[in-house]
């Protein structure tokens, strides 16, 4: 549902925004709405950062250990085969 100019004016304000060579008017939400958005999305952003760090660590570990395993420098105990 598209908000009218009047609804946007009550909740926030219109501001000029330059995108490329064009100038556009965009709605800037009220501070309370921005705060609620931040509170709702901060845990997601923190979780995404944690997952990114874990992926980085797993890749680093793989790159360190896989060549040693394939060359025979590293042996696994209890493995099948």
Q: Where are the domains of the chain?
A: 5-61
Strand pairing report for 22-28 and 13-19: antiparallel
Tens digits of pLDDT across the chain (81 residues)? 566 665 654 566 767 777 777 777 777 888 888 899 999 999 999 999 999 999 999 999 999 999 999 999 998 888 665
Only one residue has tokens 């009220």, namely 30
Only one residue has tokens 């997601």, namely 44
Dist CA 10 CA 17 (whole Å): 20
Q: How many CB atoms lie within 10 A of CB 74?
A: 12
pTM (two decimals): 0.60
> What's the angle, vertex CA 14, arms to CA 8 and CA 20, rounded to 5?
130
């Amino acid at each position: 549902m598209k908000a009218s100019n009047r609804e946007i004016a009550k909740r926030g304000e219109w501001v000029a925004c330059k995108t490329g060579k064009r100038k556009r008017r965009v709605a800037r939400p009220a501070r309370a709405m921005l705060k609620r958005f931040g509170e709702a999305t901060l845990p997601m952003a923190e979780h995404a950062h944690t997952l990114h760090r874990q992926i980085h660590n797993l890749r680093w570990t793989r790159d360190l250990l896989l060549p040693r395993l394939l060359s025979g420098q590293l042996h696994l105990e209890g493995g099948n085969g």
